[in-house]
Amino acid sequence: MSAHVVRYHAAAPGRWLAVVTDGRAAVVHTGADAQLAGDLDTALAGGLPTALDRLLRDGIASLPSFALLEWTPDLDGTLEVHGLLRGEAIVELAGASGDSEWEASGVTTWLEQRTAGVTSLRIDVPDDADAMALPLGAGAVWVSRLTVSERGSAASATKTSGAAAAQNAGSARAATEVGPTVPLAAPAAQAAVAPLEQTIADLSDTAMLDERRGFGAQTAYDHLFDATIVRTIEEAAVRADDAEAAPGGGHPDALEAGALAATAEPQAGDHDGLTITTADLAAMRGNRAEASTPRASAAPTPSHQYFLKLSTGAEHDLDRPVLVGRAPSVSQVPGGSLPTLLALSGEPDVSRNHARFDVEGDTVLVTDLHSRNGTAVTLPGKAPQLVRKGEPTPVVTGAVIDFGGGTTITVCER
């Protein structure tokens, strides 16, 4: 089963027809051509060139608006998308490196594009969109929007959890059917071992509770565990003479226990007034851990504070990523950092998501998001140069960025 599923938003008949096969789709403004649906279904099986030949059958003057797409999965689970566009159809693609847009409204013939690392895509046409998105395996429908996205995993998760629950239930039943166990007899050699001393540092919280409750006697299972030295708290306490004789020696828990025992006063009902509870031992260990934990240093203050200045006079701080375009939007936010959306309204030459500004360390980076007209950078004293699409390009203070419209952006520093 494919990891991606096609969904469509229905529209009134007679305008935009979508034909979908395995890994390919065609969205065409058909008009009254009723035979086109059957022809495209056959042509798409031969690939995009065959489908384009069918649309060119009556010549380029009669060529309608269309979007022909095919997608193939890569090893990392993303898609490599190849597309041919003409006219009013717009393709929007989302990927780990950002969003991009294909549009060919001003192209005389058609636009051909190819992009890898795509997680989802959408074909929009100028028609009233139905609110409900329905799945489409293969076939022909009248649409206002067509999407390709990852298939949900809710069903498989339900099946997995159901199987795990059944397995756990079976294990529980098996556990209740097991009869009583017979204690193992202790080996004779282990029974002859003389009792050993035990330091307070080796006592776990559970062992201390068991001793106070009367569970400290040897059992037939002692041979299964390591031997532990047992001493009373009074014997384990560190005296001043011992500390001078062996400076720096002794276990931290033993030192703390001795200090607490030396200052403790007998209480009513206590056999000697020197008993240490598990709460006291946990508090001592917590104090030692707190003393050994280094204090977190204050976050370094950035040495540069950059901002973007538009040719209109507006300014925008670069304290977070800035997404620039005719109508910018985000569908995925890498690293959880929500960018600032900077819209250049009324700029037909600027793509919907045109470029992105980021700051890494003390460097400003500008990335062209596969825009139609590209992004030009003019460094101080240099000629304008187009940046490579999809690749972050470092720029310096005073650099002027032009997106092909009337508005430019200058990188400034406070």
Domain boundaries, the chain: 4-150, 190-283, 306-413
pTM of the model: 0.41
pLDDT for 209 equals 47
Residue 166, phi then psi, degrees to nearest 5: -65, -40
50-108 pLDDT, tens per residue?
999 999 988 888 889 999 999 999 888 899 999 999 999 999 999 988 899 999 988 88
Q: What is the pLDDT of residue 61?
A: 86
Pair 83, 91: CB distance under 8 Å: yes
Nearest CA to 191 out of 156, 154, 220, 167 is that of 220
Distances (CA, A) of 270 to 213, 245, 246, 266, 327: 14, 32, 32, 7, 77
User: At the top level of CATH, which class does the domain 306-413 belong to?
Assistant: mainly beta
> Can you give the pLDDT at residue 32?
58
Quick one: pLDDT at residue 258? 52
Q: What is the pLDDT along the chain (414 residues), one digit of tens a residue?
A: 567 899 999 988 888 999 999 899 999 998 756 688 788 889 998 999 999 999 998 888 888 999 999 999 988 889 999 999 999 999 999 998 889 999 998 888 999 999 999 999 999 998 776 678 899 988 999 999 999 998 873 333 333 334 444 444 444 444 444 444 444 444 444 444 444 444 444 444 444 544 444 444 455 555 555 555 656 666 666 665 554 554 445 555 545 545 554 455 555 554 555 667 777 777 777 777 666 665 655 545 557 899 999 998 999 999 999 999 988 988 766 555 689 999 988 888 898 899 999 999 899 999 999 998 899 999 999 999 999 999 999 999 999 999 987 889 999 998
Res 295: pLDDT: 60
